[in-house]
Amino acid sequence: MNICPAELNFASHLAALNAPRAAKPAYIDDTRQLTYGELAERVARLGGALRNLALRREERILLLMQDTADWPVVFLGALHAGVVPVAVNTLLTADDYAYIIGHSRVRAVFVSGALLPTVQAALKQAGADIEHLVVSQPDGPLPAGAHELDTLLASAPLAPAVRTLSDEIAFWLYSSGSTGKPKGVVHTHGNLWHTAELYAKPVLGIREDDVVFSAAKLFFAYGLGNGLTFPLSVGATVVLMSERPTPQAVFQRLTRHRPTVFYGVPTLYASMLASPELPPRDQVGLRVCTSAGEALPRDIGERFTRHFGCDILDGIGSTEMLHIFISNQAGQLRYGTTGKPVPGYEVQLRDESGAPVAPGAIGDLYIKGPSAALMYWNNRDKTRQCFLGDWLKSGDKYTCDADGFYTYAGRSDDMIKVSGQYVSPVEVENILVQHEAVLEAAVIGVPDHDGLVKTKAYVVLRPGFEPDANTGAALQTYVKQHLAPFKYPRQINFTDELPKTATGKIQRFRLRQLEEA
């Protein structure tokens, strides 16, 4: 096995690796192509631009951009310069960004034109001392003092890469928890390298002649590996799409660019299979697909393979571990399970006292591996609860069968994963109870007809409000107005009371039991 070099700048590592294929397309987005040579040049110019803006090594920039070829330029350009990109979800609210900007103390913001109004609202709210606003593909006039990314790059010198250690902080992602604010997950240059060496090359078998397409966006840990770390580690070509990954949008890319590797999430696979526009097998060029974010129901995997003649390798990863650490593999795939530990990672199932569970029993999932994040930034308590020496507690419950296959058995906390994104029930409940009609609310995840989890709110109304479809729709709209829209409850159930402990704490598990009955 390769050993991670002690001195590693992941951006220069990729540039050196891909220098021999300068004319080959690295990225194909909705409007442009970028060859490996052009990518290397823009990355070095971004480094020069950061210097011109007086951004120094280890300082942070916010990367709030849609999936275009500008995204890898900014991410890798920052790494090249030793500046730390804080890559964030493009689907959040101005409130969320105001918190993240304050918490991460970024000195500059790189934003897509389409997201500029939300970022401006966030900056106003945060009252943050942001020195530079850089806009990728603006769709109108720029605010005073802002720079356009292309213009900035055109006038920037080619900067030499900064020499960094593999253990040095490279970038952050944000991850949400059941309570409290999102946590800044701090990753190193070496962590990127490890995910490519341990998962992408041996499990996915990714290679130079692959064309890859990820429905999961680059700001997710899953998408970052899929659409940047892995393909660029072997000189493959990446198709990027900025729009929402609807089945139609995905089919267009699958048939136009004929990617050989496709990375999706279970809800998307289910809606692709249900779509009347599902292309026939001979119109796509798939070699292998992956799924993560939530457990892939067996039936969906089997139907997909029957239709396309291509396996979906279901796996589980985490933002904290950066990518997938348990996965199905070609030749030993068992749909309905998450597969086996990826070689290089160790996995344990423990009971509440920390002892290993009996064979076949449900236990809390712990992982040990070289791509673990360093910490949650400025959050000692949450860091201590998750990062336990060499081991990391994932927050998921699993069983392991006699053949060593792991099967998902739910979350250890009340977090709900919808289409691969965490939703905190507490956060949604806190918004619902601010509505004039709501006395109390509890939110849980319930499986739909495909076995995929959707959010459901149990609501106790105040006197004078009708438990009908209009009130339900008004509550859904209210949540969408106050939180990232993907967090709204897909179903509302009106009830007279909620199950509670003697001390008045809502018992969400009793509502889940009710749903299962």
Under a CB-based contact definition with an 8 Å cutoff, are residues 230 and 324 in contact?
A: no
Stretch that binds ligand 3SK, among 47-55, 140-148, 318-326, 443-451 (CB under 6 A): 318-326
Find the shortest distance in angstroms from Cβ 128 to ligand 3SK: 28
CA gap 462, 174 in Å, rounded: 36
Under a CB-based contact definition with an 8 Å cutoff, are residues 472 and 438 in contact?
A: no
Instruction: Say whether residue 317 binds ligand 3SK (CB under 6 A).
Output: yes
Under a CB-based contact definition with an 8 Å cutoff, are residues 247 and 277 in contact?
A: yes
Under a CB-based contact definition with an 8 Å cutoff, are residues 111 and 139 in contact?
A: no
Instruction: Say whether residue 222 binds ligand 3SK (CB under 6 A).
Output: yes
Helix-strand-coil percent breakdown of the chain, rounded to 5? 35, 25, 40
Among 324, 375, 386, 479, binds ligand 3SK (CB under 6 A): 324
Report which residue's Cβ sits closest to ligand 3SK.
317
Q: Which is nearer to ligand 3SK, 12 or 319 (CB)?
A: 319
Residues whose CB falls within 8 Å of the CB of residue 514, separated by 6 or more in sequence, listed in order: none
Among candidate residues 283, 253, 282, the one with its CA nearest the CA of residue 268: 253
Find the shortest distance in angstroms from Cβ 7 to ligand 3SK: 26
Among 68, 93, 271, 319, binds ligand 3SK (CB under 6 A): 319
Q: Which is nearer to ligand 3SK, 260 or 318 (CB)?
A: 318
Stretch that binds ligand 3SK, among 15-23, 314-322, 340-348, 464-472 (CB under 6 A): 314-322
Find the shortest distance in angstroms from Cβ 191 to ligand 3SK: 12
Stretch that binds ligand 3SK, among 179-187, 315-323, 342-350, 366-374 (CB under 6 A): 315-323
Task: Give the single-character DSSP code of 342.
Answer: P
Binding mask 375-414 for ligand 3SK (x = CB under 6 A): ----------------------------------------
Q: Which residues pair with 348 in a beta bridge?
A: 366
Among 60, 189, 323, 456, binds ligand 3SK (CB under 6 A): 323
Binding mask 262-301 for ligand 3SK (x = CB under 6 A): ------------------------------xx--------
Q: Which is nearer to ligand 3SK, 216 or 431 (CB)?
A: 216
Stretch that binds ligand 3SK, among 2-10, 70-78, 311-319, 478-486 (CB under 6 A): 311-319
Find the shortest distance in angstroms from Cβ 39 to ligand 3SK: 23
CA gap 82, 58 in Å, rounded: 6
Under a CB-based contact definition with an 8 Å cutoff, are residues 301 and 314 in contact?
A: yes
Q: Which pairs from 482-485 meet CB under 8 Å and 24+ separation?
A: 482/93, 482/431, 482/434, 483/93, 483/427, 483/428, 483/431, 484/89, 484/91, 484/92, 484/93, 484/96, 485/91
Q: Which is nearer to ligand 3SK, 219 or 488 (CB)?
A: 219
Under a CB-based contact definition with an 8 Å cutoff, are residues 472 and 507 in contact?
A: no
Find the shortest distance in angstroms from Cβ 90 to ligand 3SK: 16
Q: How is 482-508 classified by DSSP, letter by letter? A: HS-GGGS-SEEEE-S---B-TT--B-H
Which residues, numbered 410-439, are part of the site for ligand 3SK (CB under 6 A)? 420
Half-sphere exposure of 253 (CA within 13 A, CB side): 26
Q: Which is nearer to ligand 3SK, 371 or 383 (CB)?
A: 371
Stretch that binds ligand 3SK, among 230-238, 313-321, 379-387, 488-496 (CB under 6 A): 313-321
CA gap 500, 393 in Å, rounded: 28
Query: What does the angle CA 209 – CA 6 – CA 230 come to, to the nearest 5 degrees?
Result: 20
Stretch that binds ligand 3SK, among 18-26, 63-71, 317-325, 404-412 (CB under 6 A): 317-325
Tokens representing 223? Answer: 């998408």
Residue bearing tokens 């890798």: 76
Which 3-state string (H, E, C) describes 172-233?
A: EEEECCCCCCCEEEEEEHHHHHHHHHHHHHHHHCCCCCCEEEECCCCCCHHHHHHHHHHHHH
Find the shortest distance in angstroms from Cβ 313 to ligand 3SK: 12
What are the E-state strand segments in 328-381?
Answer: 340-341, 346-350, 363-368, 375-376
Distances (CA, A) of 280 to 251, 284, 318, 364: 10, 7, 33, 41
Find the shortest distance in angstroms from Cβ 200 to ligand 3SK: 11
Stretch that binds ligand 3SK, among 98-106, 124-132, 139-147, 312-320 (CB under 6 A): 312-320
Among 318, 371, 419, 471, binds ligand 3SK (CB under 6 A): 318
Number of residues that bind ligand 3SK (CB under 6 A): 11
Find the shortest distance in angstroms from Cβ 178 to ligand 3SK: 15
User: Which residues form the interface with ligand 3SK (CB under 6 A)?
Assistant: 221-222, 292-293, 316-319, 323-324, 420
